[in-house]
A and B are shown apart, each in its own frame.
Chain A
């Protein structure tokens, strides 16, 4: 079974631009969560989608948004990039509506110049 895949793996953008990251969950998984990981702040929860609906949301500004498609693939968008958005963005998928193990992708490393 293929694992969680994230594209692209690396990305360089400049301040003010926007970016879209993609996550393909493990087949059969309906929940997708997004995290931001930085050396200073650690792992911070962005949001979670389940069956195309945002189920949980972290404390990030509205510049960070996401969506989930009917095939459970998810995208995350960051508009008006700031230097502080430089981070590793991790996507995790889990099987169903319940307390399930999260399976993480390798992440997308975003550098904002």
Chain B
């Protein structure tokens, strides 16, 4: 991928409200897509990924993301956020044939307001 854009550096949202974190990429070839999460003072961990098949992928803690090829997007959504979702979320893309190198977005800090 040439680049990965996460448009929002911070997203404040009230607890139990829905949230969408946006991720767009630029690439002319097929891609693999990832969302990673970094909780305060921790390393990153995989939240969900799209490699092939269904364009809607889900995580075990209620997040989902949909691969939209025409829009070159992979937005992350959750219908109802919890205080424990406070973290920074990173979108990453790997182009097929790129030696699996990941290109990372700048990250979006999800701030949950009580």
Interface residues of A (CB under 8 A from B): 4, 33, 42-45, 48, 55-56, 90, 92, 98-107
Report B67-113 residues with CB < 8 Å from chain A CB.
90, 94, 99-107
- Which B residue sits closest to A105, measured CB to CB? B43
Whether A90 lies near B104 (C-beta < 8 A) is: no
List residues of chain B with CB within 8 A of the CB of A99: 32, 51, 94, 100
The number of chain B residues with a CB under 8 A from chain A is: 21
Whether A90 lies near B43 (C-beta < 8 A) is: yes
**Given A90-B43, A107-B43, A101 contacting B102 (CB threshold 8 A):** no
Whether B44 lies near A90 (C-beta < 8 A) is: yes
B44's partner among A45, A56, A98, A104 (CB-CB below 8 A) is A104
List residues of chain B with CB within 8 A of the CB of A48: 101
A101's partner among B43, B46, B104, B106 (CB-CB below 8 A) is B46
A90 and B45 alpha carbons, distance in the complex (Å):
12
- Which A residue sits closest to B32, measured CB to CB? A99
List residues of chain B with CB within 8 A of the CB of A45: 101-104
**Given A43-B90, A90-B44, A107-B43, A102 contacting B102 (CB threshold 8 A):** yes
Interface residues of B (CB under 8 A from A): 32, 34, 36, 42-46, 49, 51, 90, 94, 99-107
Whether A98 lies near B43 (C-beta < 8 A) is: no
Would you give 26 A-B contacts (Cβ < 8 Å), ordered by A? A4-B43, A33-B102, A42-B105, A42-B107, A43-B44, A43-B90, A43-B107, A44-B104, A45-B102, A45-B103, A48-B101, A90-B43, A90-B44, A92-B44, A99-B51, A99-B94, A100-B100, A101-B34, A101-B46, A101-B49, A102-B36, A102-B46, A102-B102, A103-B46, A105-B43, A106-B42
- Which A residue sits closest to B90, measured CB to CB? A43
**Given A101-B46, A106-B42, A106-B43, A55 contacting B99 (CB threshold 8 A):** yes
List residues of chain A with CB within 8 A of the CB of B94: 99
A106 and B43 alpha carbons, distance in the complex (Å):
4
